Amino acid sequence: MTRTEERGVRRRTLAQRDARSGLLLITPTLVIVVAVVLVPLVWSVLIAFQRVRLIGIGRTGLFDNLTLANFVRVFGSDTLWDSLVTTITYTAGSTLLAVVLGVSVALALRRPFFGRGFVRAAMLIPYVAPVVAVTFVWKVLLNPEFGIVNSWGRRLFGWDDPVAFLSQARGEISLFGLDIPVPTALLTVIVFEGWRYFPFVFLFVLARLQAMPAELEEAATIDGATPSQRFRHIVLPQLMPIIAVLVVLRTIWTFNEFDDIFLLTGGAAGTEVVSIRVYELLTVQRNVGAAAAQSVFLAAVLAVLLGLYLWLLRRRGGTT
């Protein structure tokens, strides 16, 4: 037997051993993920086709009472489409705001200055602080009776009446003598969402900015490109891939967002997104089947939207 053959045999057995330990090491994770995420997911779809109420839950078997009634109920609701429009508006508005704010701050913090480390950490606090605490502070800040925003608004901008930011569905802004109707509460939760999640965008965009080679921009400066031209033609194209990923992530998470709206408005005043409806079906009406159907609907819409986005992205990528 030659030396090389010997080594070949050894390497194969090492590879086999590695494959075995790989499977062994990943097994605990797989078990947990399958048990706590995948099985419930499949079960959720099953429940969506069953007539199940919380009271009779102990007696219902896996395949009992199969029915389409839950979906009939979900699609028959007058407010389903309003709620879907609210969800989409909320998602698009919040994602856009978070990305614009996050990129702006990342650009502002790109070059070193005294105290940058502190500013950087401060920018991330809204994202790491407990959602329950920050929504509570916002609720107090915006409170019509003793919130500081309203008392300063009246003093500095001469507002006649306090604005009920979180409980008013429709308000009017007077601009140049025109009264423009605005969905006050929905806008407020969008602004909150932008405030809470711009740090996430900021973090990733800043990391990308700092890894960019300086040569390209230096060359462009020598060629006479102004700062805005350098941003438009050199920095932005390099940021686009990470921005695209962040848009997808933020869209997915905002679309399913429950905590923030539930804690700020409870879904009142024109902010009833689909996830709030799921929660209400589950806990208030105690109709488990309808809640599951509603949540499957939510996931399906999200999947369609994402598929569309990826398809558009691929088509654009294919032509250029």
Partner 1 sequence: MSTRRPWTRDRVERVVFGVLRRVVIAGFLLATLVPFYYMIMLSVRPIEDLLLRPDSLLPDLGALTFATYEEVLRPVTDGGQGFLTLLGNSAVVASVSVVVALAVAIPGAYAVSRLRFFGRRQISALFLMVYLFPAIVIAIPLFVLLTKLQLRGSLVGLVLVYIAQTVPVAIYMLKNYFETIPESIEEAGLVDGLNRMAVIRRISLPLALPSVVATGIFVFMIAWNEFLFALLFLVERRDRWTVSLGLAQLSGTVEIPTTVLMAGSVVITLPIVVLFFLTERLLSEGLTAGADKG
180 binds partner 1 (CB under 8 A): no
How many whole angstroms separate alpha carbon 254 and alpha carbon 88?
Answer: 9
Task: Please give the residues from 278 up to 297 whose contact with partner 1 meets the rule CB under 8 A.
Answer: 278-279, 282-283, 288, 291-292, 295-296
Tokens of 63: 């395949």
Please, which residue, 54 or 72, has the CB nearer to partner 1? 54
264 binds partner 1 (CB under 8 A): no
Residue 268's φ and ψ, nearest 5 degrees, are: -85, 175
Q: Are strands 178-182 and 171-175 parallel, antiparallel or unpaired?
A: antiparallel
Task: Please give the residues from 80 up to 139 whose contact with partner 1 meets the rule CB under 8 A.
Answer: 101, 104-105, 107-109, 117, 119-126, 128-134, 136-139
**Within 10 Å of residue 212's Cβ, how many Cβ atoms?**
14
14 binds partner 1 (CB under 8 A): yes
How many whole angstroms separate alpha carbon 40 and alpha carbon 47?
Answer: 10
224 binds partner 1 (CB under 8 A): yes
How many whole angstroms separate alpha carbon 91 and alpha carbon 261?
Answer: 12
DSSP state of 213: -
Contact stretch for partner 1 (CB under 8 A) within 37-45, 84-92, 169-177, 311-319: 37-45
Contact stretch for partner 1 (CB under 8 A) within 72-80, 177-185, 247-255, 309-317: 247-255
222 binds partner 1 (CB under 8 A): no
90 closest CA partner among 186, 233, 204, 194: 186
How many whole angstroms separate alpha carbon 188 and alpha carbon 142?
Answer: 10
Helices (H) and strands (E) in the chain, counts: 14, 2
Q: In the complex, what is the shortest distance from the CB of residue 82 to partner 1, in angstroms, rounded to a whole number?
A: 19
Please, which residue, 228 or 320, has the CB nearer to partner 1? 228
Q: In the complex, what is the shortest distance from the CB of residue 238 to partner 1, in angstroms, rounded to a whole number?
A: 7
The size of the interface with partner 1 (CB under 8 A), counted in residues, is: 101
263 binds partner 1 (CB under 8 A): yes
* Cβ(269)–Cβ(168) below 8 Å: yes
Task: Please give the residues from 39 up to 58 whose contact with partner 1 meets the rule CB under 8 A.
Answer: 39-41, 43-44, 47, 52, 54, 57-58
Please, which residue, 27 or 180, has the CB nearer to partner 1? 27
163 binds partner 1 (CB under 8 A): no
How many whole angstroms separate alpha carbon 303 and alpha carbon 53?
Answer: 27
23 binds partner 1 (CB under 8 A): yes
